[in-house]
Chains A and B, each alone.
Chain A
Amino acid sequence: MNELFELPTLFTIGDVDITRQIAYFFLAVLVVWAILYFGLRKPKAVPGKFQLVIEELVGFVRDGIAKDIIGPEGSKYVPYLLSIFLFILVGNFFEITPFVNYPITSRMAIPALLAIMTYVIFVFMGFRKNGLSYLTGIVWPKSVPVAMRPLVGIIEFFSTFAIRPLTLAVRLFANLVAGHVMLSLLLVTGFTYLFVEPFEFTFNPLWGVLWFLLGIAIFIFEMVVAFLQAYIFTLLSAVYIESSLHPEH
């Protein structure tokens, strides 16, 4: 199973192995740059199709996520939210990009990194905005009856400071790993049935085509997942930031 995720080391700088994954990280950066650069190189008052798509994406993050969830202060977080959205989106789409076929977000490094950044931001903003009452508000919530407060406080404490970043990272990671494994298995199985006879399976074109069709169906499904997971990650980052800015709700 690890074979699907361990890619060969390309070259080594000092002690750091530059593997294909890391090359893909920078390929993702390149793609993000290319999309933004060619979409917005010469912004026109009357946008072309490509510029319109980019503007639509940016507007989606800025208005649909930042302003909708965080409110007027949300514009401060637009650069961060847009960055993670685009990076995750491109990384997710690597899963179904021909010849790459490897979602960088299925390496724990990327989701973990982004989740830690979101975690740092929302904890930091929570303390900066509300001082120590941010912590006390979580551990000793005023809105529940006194008898329930210790219990709810403990649950809230763990949910805020441990479960949130963990689930944020693992959600993205798990979805992409599952998608990648599923796609690889289906397509490899189909391929095996179709073309590789001397194997444990017997040569059977019908099964091969069937597996392939299923693989294509999952392929389309993964497109939706890729977008949805990028959206959910960004949305939840915004929600977490908002909840530490205004802890009363």
Chain B
Amino acid sequence: MLEGNIAGPLALIGYGLAAIGPGVGIGILAGNAVQAMARQPEAAGMVRTTMFLGIAFTEALALIGFVLFFIAGG
């Protein structure tokens, strides 16, 4: 069987899990934003701003995970 042990803070795994959701979310968001820009290039500026805003909200979860990693992992 596999010998050895896994070391390191559990918080790392927590952060990894926290990053999954936002990762998927940002992917979907950016993909749809690209589609929207391709369909209506004249609205690209508005779409881009809204995209960044959406990314900012989506990213919040990952960022909270990041902070918790520092607090719990220290």
B66 touches A232 (CB 8 A): no
Tell me if B's interface is mostly helix, strand, loop or mixed.
Answer: helix
B60 touches A163 (CB 8 A): yes
B8 interface residue per 8 A CB criterion:
no
State which of A93-101, A166-174, A200-208 sits at the interface with chain B.
Answer: A166-174
The CA of A69 and the CA of B67, in the complex, are separated in Å by: 29
The CA of A116 and the CA of B56, in the complex, are separated in Å by: 17
A239 touches B53 (CB 8 A): yes
A68 interface residue per 8 A CB criterion:
yes
A236 touches B60 (CB 8 A): no
B45 interface residue per 8 A CB criterion:
yes
B45 touches A68 (CB 8 A): yes
The CA of A166 and the CA of B57, in the complex, are separated in Å by: 11
Considering only residues 134-165 of chain A, those with a C-beta below 8 Å from chain B are 159, 163
B49 interface residue per 8 A CB criterion:
yes
B60 touches A69 (CB 8 A): no
When each residue 34-64 of chain B gets 1 if its CB lies under 8 Å from chain A and 0 otherwise, what string results?
Answer: 0000000000010001001100110110011
A174 touches B52 (CB 8 A): no
B45 touches A167 (CB 8 A): no
B67 touches A232 (CB 8 A): no
Considering only residues 15-73 of chain A, those with a C-beta below 8 Å from chain B are 68-69
Min C-beta distance of B12 to chain A, whole Å: 12
Min C-beta distance of B19 to chain A, whole Å: 11
The CA of A235 and the CA of B53, in the complex, are separated in Å by: 9
Min C-beta distance of A100 to chain B, whole Å: 24
Q: Which of B49, B57, B66 contacts A174 (CB 8 A)?
A: B66
Chain A residues with CB under 8 Å of B57's CB are: 159
Min C-beta distance of B5 to chain A, whole Å: 18
Min C-beta distance of A242 to chain B, whole Å: 10
Chain B residues with CB under 8 Å of A69's CB are: 49
B52 touches A232 (CB 8 A): yes
Q: Which of B49, B53, B59, B67 contacts A68 (CB 8 A)?
A: B49
Interface residues of B (CB under 8 A from A): 45, 49, 52-53, 56-57, 59-60, 63-64, 66-67
Offer 11 A-B interface pairs, CB within 8 angstroms, sorted by A. Answer: A166-B63, A167-B56, A167-B63, A170-B66, A171-B59, A171-B63, A174-B63, A174-B66, A232-B52, A236-B52, A236-B56
Q: Which 4 A-B pairs have the closest CB atoms?
A: A170-B63, A167-B60, A174-B66, A167-B63
In the complex, besides A171-B56, A171-B59, 12 extra interface pairs with C-beta distance below 8 angstroms are A68-B45, A163-B60, A166-B67, A167-B56, A167-B59, A170-B63, A170-B64, A170-B67, A232-B52, A235-B52, A236-B52, A236-B56
